[in-house]
């Protein structure tokens, strides 16, 4: 512990260490205050560089039997698991995420060991998915839904029954919640994102081309930095310029994960509501201060100019998870090992570093720490499971967020509606807005919420309470004549962005005839906010054309015009798209309006904006819906082109327009549509031979097992994680490029795609698959081709960059200097 340094006034207390805890990756506290830990001995267990798929994973229960603050008893609650990734302790049992299964394990006789294991769901990630990109986290949110990370489902127990609902996949490792119930996540190179609006709203309109509001970036890469206190050359891309400072420390995040919004009461107020982020490769825990600009818009900044909240000089200090505790402090899960980079993702540079430093072994170690301050007062761990439901209602006023959360969870789990009057009293009269929020959501979870309570909460002084009340009011909005609906409609003069965004989302649940005008009014007034734009369009399914016509009559709203036109064209209705092209070709219109309409059509017709995939676009965090490059000449697009019954005169005119911008966009659109007699129609696609068909089928299996978690089953990629494969020049062009990429890996703006350690046959198969799937028509790839390229590039030890690949000759043959 002498190697670990903290901000002034703070210190660590050792809670548990090996052999009591081994290879820990996450923890959760039960209602009784006991600690449950996921142990993952299957992660990089030896020098092979491969993760173990043996059933060695387990959930252990740690107890402090003498109340001295250190764990002294270990019980294996559940074992025989393959790389378990998430747990949530409930009163009814323990939820365990072991891809692809979500289990409910129960200890029925009180011995600390699970006696039963019930499968609740079999789509919690992928059994063969790569370790760094798979479903994780089980966070009980304030709205009583259980949230995940890097997974497109979330869950709840309603009236004793388990429910699963699809959502947008966001984050990479970990999820957290603030006092208002907003959900936070991150990914390994960017520390903090928030769902400014619950992501489920974006699922209701399949024609969205953007989802601003879900996964909003709170701090840009250029605005944050990491400051390790030891050289951290053992990072995957330490060989690249700019990754390390001259002293060998990483300049920014390499393994950001487990964001936790601290909501405890035993650390100073200065850190309450702050975000804490682990970075195991930097041997540190970073602190971010989250701020509201006064109008409901959030941002974050580094807490220290050139420093960290926690940092160590020990290379094996590997903080991989954080958690707030029942005692009001912050807990750190330290996996304590030399290697924390999944073998599949290791560069040759890192492999050499690991061998030089002899970091492969030992494994089987681990520590749990408690962060305390010189002002921290030790509190007894509560046993909320033994409290009456009435007592739990009182606990909703506790200053420690963990206790409030657990009390609400238990109230909802028990389903005891006898406490509804007490909850109602708190919802309306509590002095603390946080107590009001918990009471409102507990009433909602019990199905005991009353219209009068919601109506009064709509005018609460706290914007967070007003936001929650609007969302809860949706159960009555199906009837626009209901008194609650009338009260919600009166809130259009609201000024707070958080409230306005929720208002826009909830108004979309009104019947179509009743929702159009209030949404139109909001769009006219607040159309400069891209989050409001996307939330409004999410609730306008089937009414986008009507809304666009309304927008075009008023003041210029460039962003709203683009997104509405995108949604209309994404529906792939030729007649509706033709009308958009007519509008864009109208020279009497302002040039910016014409450009906005045409950009929208471009977005909607691009592969990433197509409507047939069953999921909306997942672009958030400030990203725009950028269409991929236009289809190469002579090759059909990866989705069927939109077919017009005759040549679209408006498009032809736009192709000849004097405006370079209009003509350029029109050219892209022309590559995605067709009509009778269109010149340069693509040639007929040659059929695969029987052997190539077998290779294609084998490649599909390889893709689904190894690639789909990142690049997605539809090949459209995942925002900030993996590039789209659909229409990628590296997929549909010369096979020499993707072969090189799969042998040595590739890095670029998104990050590193490491070599997946596939055989020649596997590479040939998976490339044959992606070169002929999703409408692609490129040639099959033979194992002999892969073998040839592997021999030509045997000396290459670093991943390819786009600049390198641009220099590669596009044919097979003898080696050259550009290999």
The DSSP code sequence of 68-103 is SSS--EEEEEEEEESS--EEEE-SS-EEEEETTEEE
Compute the distance between CA of residue 396 and CA of residue 427 in angstroms, rounded to an integer: 10
pTM of the model: 0.88
Chain-centroid distance of CA 323 in Å reads 19
Q: 425 near 452, Cβ under 8 Å? A: no
Quick one: which of 181, 199, 260 has its CA closest to 437? 181
DSSP 705: I
Beta bridge partners of 35: 29, 62
Q: For residue 195, is pLDDT > 70?
A: yes
Chain-centroid distance of CA 802 in Å reads 26
Neighbour count for residue 587 (Cβ, 10 Å): 10
pLDDT of residue 683: 63
Higher confidence at residue 160 or residue 10? Answer: 10
Compute the distance between CA of residue 745 and CA of residue 753 in angstroms, rounded to an integer: 5
Pick the CATH number of 4-372 from 3.40.50.300, 3.40.605.10, 2.120.10.30, 3.40.50.12780: 2.120.10.30
Which residues in 100-246 belong to E strands, given as ranges? Answer: 101-106, 116-121, 136-140, 146-149, 153-158, 161-166, 176-177, 183-187, 190-194, 216-217
Q: 95 near 138, Cβ under 8 Å? A: yes
- Average confidence (pLDDT) over 561-575: 96
pLDDT of residue 481: 94
CATH homologous superfamily for the domain 690-806: Cytochrome c-like domain (1.10.760.10)
- 805: three-class secondary structure by DSSP: helix
Under the banding of pLDDT at 50, 70 and 90, the label for residue 389 is very high
Q: Six-digit token pair at 324?
A: 């707030």
Beta bridge partners of 87: 96
Compute the distance between CA of residue 443 and CA of residue 412 in angstroms, rounded to an integer: 8
Compute the distance between CA of residue 679 and CA of residue 682 in angstroms, rounded to an integer: 9
Q: For residue 316, is pLDDT > 80?
A: yes
Quick one: which of 377, 218, 232, 234 has its CA closest to 291? 218
Under the banding of pLDDT at 50, 70 and 90, the label for residue 541 is very high
Q: Which residues of 265-304 are buried (b: 16+ CB within 10 A; e: fewer)?
A: bbbeeebebbbbbbbbbbbbbbbbbbeeeeebbbbbebbe
Spans of all domains in the chain: 4-372, 542-683, 690-806
Compute the distance between CA of residue 169 and CA of residue 154 in angstroms, rounded to an integer: 10
CA angle (43, 156, 208) in 5-degree steps = 90
- pLDDT tens, position by position, 28-81: 999 999 999 999 999 988 877 677 889 999 999 999 999 999 999 999 999 999
Max mean pLDDT among 139-143, 669-673, 742-746 falls in 139-143
- 11: three-class secondary structure by DSSP: strand
Residues 6+ apart with CB under 8 A from 243: 235, 237, 250, 251, 254
- 258: three-class secondary structure by DSSP: strand
Q: 298 near 218, Cβ under 8 Å? A: yes
- Average confidence (pLDDT) over 654-674: 89
| Pairing of the two strands 310-312 and 319-324 | unpaired
pLDDT of residue 567: 97
Quick one: which of 332, 328, 286 has its CA closest to 26? 332
Positive or negative torsion for Cα 238, 243, 248, 250: negative
pLDDT of residue 718: 74
Alpha-carbon separation of residue 567 from 119, 614, 670 (angstroms):
39, 14, 18
- pLDDT tens, position by position, 467-516: 999 999 999 999 999 999 999 999 999 999 999 999 999 999 999 999 99
3-class SS letters over 377-424: CCCCCCCHHHCCHHHHHHHCCCCCHHHHHHHHHHHHHHCCHHHHHHHH
pLDDT of residue 819: 42
- pLDDT tens, position by position, 340-376: 888 777 777 888 898 899 988 999 999 999 999 999 9
Q: 149 near 171, Cβ under 8 Å? A: yes
Residue percentage of the chain with pLDDT more than 70? 93
- State the angle between helix axes of 558-570 and 544-553 in degrees (0 to 180), rounded to the nearest 10: 150
- pLDDT tens, position by position, 399-427: 999 999 999 999 999 999 999 999 999 99
- Average confidence (pLDDT) over 233-240: 86
Compute the distance between CA of residue 80 and CA of residue 527 in angstroms, rounded to an integer: 54
DSSP 199: G
Distance in angstroms between the alpha carbons of the first and the last residue of the chain: 48
- pLDDT tens, position by position, 675-710: 998 887 656 678 899 999 999 999 988 888 778 877
Compute the distance between CA of residue 718 and CA of residue 420 in angstroms, rounded to an integer: 43
Neighbour count for residue 751 (Cβ, 10 Å): 19
Alpha-carbon separation of residue 319 from 25, 258, 326, 512 (angstroms):
9, 9, 20, 50
Q: For residue 747, is pLDDT > 70?
A: yes
């Amino acid at each position: 512990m002498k190697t670990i340094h903290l901000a002034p006034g703070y210190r660590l207390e050792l809670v548990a260490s090996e052999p009591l805890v081994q290879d820990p990756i996450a923890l959760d506290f039960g209602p009784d205050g006991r600690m449950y830990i996921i142990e993952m001995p299957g992660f990089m267990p030896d020098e092979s560089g491969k993760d173990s798929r043996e059933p060695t994973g387990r959930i252990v229960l740690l107890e402090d039997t003498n109340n001295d603050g250190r764990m002294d008893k270990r019980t294996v609650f559940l074992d025989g698991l393959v790389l378990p990734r998430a747990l949530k302790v409930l009163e009814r049992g323990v939820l365990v995420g072991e891809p692809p299964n979500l289990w409910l394990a129960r200890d029925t006789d009180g011995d600390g060991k699970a006696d039963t294991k019930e499968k609740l769901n079999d789509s919690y990630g992928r059994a063969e998915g790569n370790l760094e990109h798979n479903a994780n986290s089980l966070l009980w949110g304030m709205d009583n839904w259980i949230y995940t990370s890097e997974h497109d489902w979330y869950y709840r127990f309603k009236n004793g029954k388990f429910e699963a609902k699809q959502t947008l996949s966001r984050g990479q490792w970990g999820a957290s919640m603030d006092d208002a119930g907003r959900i936070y996540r991150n990914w390994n190179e960017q520390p903090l994102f928030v769902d400014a609006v619950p992501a489920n709203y974006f699922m209701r309109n399949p024609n969205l081309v953007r989802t601003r509001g879900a996964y909003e970036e709170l701090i840009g890469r250029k605005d944050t930095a990491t400051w390790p206190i030891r050289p951290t050359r053992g990072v995957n891309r330490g060989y690249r310029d700019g990754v390390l400072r001259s002293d060998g420390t990483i300049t920014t995040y390499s393994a950001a994960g487990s964001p936790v919004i601290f909501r405890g009461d035993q650390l100073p107020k200065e850190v309450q509501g702050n975000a804490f982020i682990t970075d195991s490769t930097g041997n540190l825990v970073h602190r971010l201060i989250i701020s509201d600009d006064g109008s409901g818009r959030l941002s974050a900044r580094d807490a220290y100019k050139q420093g960290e909240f926690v940092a160590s000089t020990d290379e094996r200090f590997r903080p991989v998870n954080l958690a707030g505790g029942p005692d009001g402090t912050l807990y750190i899960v330290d996996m304590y090992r030399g290697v924390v980079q999944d073998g599949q993702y290791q560069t040759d540079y890192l492999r050499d570093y690991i061998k030089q430093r002899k970091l492969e072994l030992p494994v089987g170690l681990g520590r749990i720490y408690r962060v305390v301050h010189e002002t921290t007062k030790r509190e007894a761990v509560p046993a909320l499971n033994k409290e009456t439901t009435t007592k739990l209602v009182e606990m909703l006023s506790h200053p420690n967020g963990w206790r409030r959360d657990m009390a609400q969870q238990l109230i909802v789990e028990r389903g005891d509606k006898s406490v509804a009057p007490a909850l109602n009293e708190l919802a309306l009269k509590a002095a603390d807005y946080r107590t009001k929020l918990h009471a409102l959501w507990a009433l909602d979870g019990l199905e005991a919420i009353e219209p009068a309570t919601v109506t009064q909460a709509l005018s609460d002084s706290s914007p967070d309470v007003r936001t929650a009340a609007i969302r809860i009011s949706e159960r009555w909005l199906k009837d626009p004549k209901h008194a609650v609906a009338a009260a919600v409609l009166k809130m259009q003069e609201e000024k707070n962005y958080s409230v306005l965004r929720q208002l826009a989302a909830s108004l979309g649940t009104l019947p179509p005839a009743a929702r159009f005008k209030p949404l139109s009014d909001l769009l006219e007034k607040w159309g400069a906010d891209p989050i409001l734009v996307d939330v409004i369009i999410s609730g306008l399914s089937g009414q986008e054309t009507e809304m666009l016509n309304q927008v075009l009559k008023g003041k210029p709203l460039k962003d709203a015009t683009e997104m509405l036109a995108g949604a209309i064209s994404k529906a792939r209705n030729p007649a509706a798209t033709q009308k958009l092209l007519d509008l864009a070709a109208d020279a009497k219109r302002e040039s910016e309006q014409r450009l906005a309409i045409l950009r929208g059509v471009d977005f909607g017709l691009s592969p990433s904006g197509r409507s047939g995939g069953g999921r909306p676009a997942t672009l958030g965090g400030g990203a725009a819906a950028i269409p991929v490059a236009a289809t190469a000449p002579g090759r059909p697009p990866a989705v069927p082109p939109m077919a017009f019954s005759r040549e679209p005169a408006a498009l032809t005119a736009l192709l000849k327009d004097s405006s370079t911008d209009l003509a350029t966009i029109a050219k892209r659109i022309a590559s995605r549509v067709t009509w009778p007699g269109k010149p340069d129609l693509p040639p007929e696609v040659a059929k695969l031979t029987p052997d190539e068909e077998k290779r294609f089928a084998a490649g599909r299996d390889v893709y689904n097992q190894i690639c789909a978690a990142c690049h997605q089953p539809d090949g459209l990629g995942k925002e900030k994680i993996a590039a789209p494969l659909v229409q990628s020049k590296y997929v549909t062009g010369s096979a020499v490029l993707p072969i090189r990429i799969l042998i040595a890996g590739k890095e670029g703006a998104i990050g590193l795609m490491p070599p997946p350690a596939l055989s020649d046959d596997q590479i040939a198969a998976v490339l044959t698959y992606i070169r002929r799937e999703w409408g692609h028509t490129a040639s099959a790839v033979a194992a002999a081709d892969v073998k040839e390229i592997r021999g030509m590039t045997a000396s290459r030890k670093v991943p390819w960059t786009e600049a390198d690949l641009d220099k590669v000759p596009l044919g097979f043959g003898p080696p050259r200097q550009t290999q």
